[in-house]
Amino acid sequence: MSSINKIRVALLFGGKSGEHDVSLLSARSVMKAIDPQKYEVLPVLITKTGEWHVDESSLQFLQGNEERVEKLANTEIDQQIAKSVQPFPSILDSEIDVIFPLLHGPNGEDGTIQGLLQLAGKPYVGAGVLASAAGMDKVIMKRLFAEAGLPQGDFVGYLRSDIDRRMDQIIVEIEERFGYPCFVKPANLGSSVGISKARNREQLIEALKLACRFDRKVIIEQFIHAREIEIAILGNDDPIASVPGEIVSKHEFYDYTAKYTDGKSELIIPAELDEQTVNKLTELAKRAFFAIDGSGLARVDFFIDRNNGEVYLNEINTMPGFTIYSMYPLLWQHTGISYPELIDRLIQLSLLRHEDLNRSESSYEQMSKN
């Protein structure tokens, strides 16, 4: 196939969020695996300060070999790159057929970039504006889950301004509602940044202060002593679900170090579960995907209570980690969809979604057509 017939994919990676480095690893994996006969890739590096680079250095970086985040931290990628900053609209104007925003966390997975791509009228991989934003905000996400009747632990959200004003009162409210331990998280973040398990009042105060550093909204959750099970979803209006996988973390909980740096977490795929539980999780995963109006892909994370076997939804991620070692692609691999095929399907799904969106009329001339 000549390059004329290839689908041109702009691969956006890096980004301003704390998950910049994870995104670089994901993008490298995609770059190595994407079918070169079918796709031509334009790598677009977004630096930690938010500049968009489209040049040789972003390509070179993607072809590098570091495979762990702590090594990446030393590559000083932001210093290496040439000064060929391209303002993002020119990328969107160019002859790109589809955009793959392989970005995690705020400004990547939260609807902001999706809004830009939507305005540009380009097909893009993954969730749209609403699903991205809803999946990013843990308070809104859990309200949507509640509305859909999905099982989850008790939670409450507070605005930072409210915490600033009446910390003492809020502490009492939390103690009465949840007791200890409880979980405290910034509402809009990922990769376990700013998350704490509070075991007493002193720790709760510290946890609230920490979470308030990262977001204007904080969520407090009931602690669930649980196994952590995840299911991958792929599709648009008629999605399919993968086999479930389990994360066994040697840390107190599945925190940032456990996730990305020390390799002390084990992924067990498929998770050891009875058939009934698997069926239940599969159904719940799809319902969670519909609850936020997802599209393309999502990873749905569950807790299974170690004491009584109860199933709880933890969260949905609309752009889960996407390296070849990440849970999402591994779940598909074990379900029979290889990594290159997964990339292919995601791009095709984005084109289908774009077509479907374009079916809707944007103006309405009543009667005149009758």
Report the alpha-carbon distance of residue 270 to residue 329 in Å, rounded: 13
Which residue's CB is nearer to ligand ADP, number 52 or number 183?
183
Tell me the C-alpha to C-alpha distance, in Å, between residue 315 and each of 55, 137, 280, 319, 343. 36, 10, 16, 12, 23
Which residue's CB is nearer to ligand ADP, number 222 or number 236?
222
Q: Residues in the site for ligand ADP, rule: CB under 6 A? A: 153, 183, 185, 190-192, 195, 221-224, 228, 253-254, 301, 314-315
Which residue's CB is nearer to ligand ADP, number 129 or number 193?
193
Which residue from 313, 305, 321, 322 is spatially nearest to 288, judged by alpha carbons? Answer: 313
**Minimum gap (Å) between residue 136 Cβ and ligand ADP:** 9
Q: Transcribe 196-253 into DSSP letters.
A: EEE-SHHHHHHHHHHHHHH-SEEEEEE---EEEEEEEEEESSS-EE---EEEEESSSS
Which residue's CB is nearer to ligand ADP, number 253 or number 325?
253
**Minimum gap (Å) between residue 54 Cβ and ligand ADP:** 30
Q: Is residue 175 exposed (0-12), middle (13-18) or buried (19+ Cβ within 10 Å)? A: middle
**Minimum gap (Å) between residue 212 Cβ and ligand ADP:** 16
**Minimum gap (Å) between residue 369 Cβ and ligand ADP:** 48
Report the alpha-carbon distance of residue 357 to residue 303 in Å, rounded: 35
**Minimum gap (Å) between residue 72 Cβ and ligand ADP:** 19
Report the alpha-carbon distance of residue 3 to residue 96 in Å, rounded: 13
Q: What are phi and psi of 300, to 5 degrees?
A: -110, 125
Which residue's CB is nearer to ligand ADP, number 96 or number 136?
136
Which residue's CB is nearer to ligand ADP, number 81 or number 127?
127
**Minimum gap (Å) between residue 254 Cβ and ligand ADP:** 3
Report the alpha-carbon distance of residue 305 to residue 225 in Å, rounded: 6
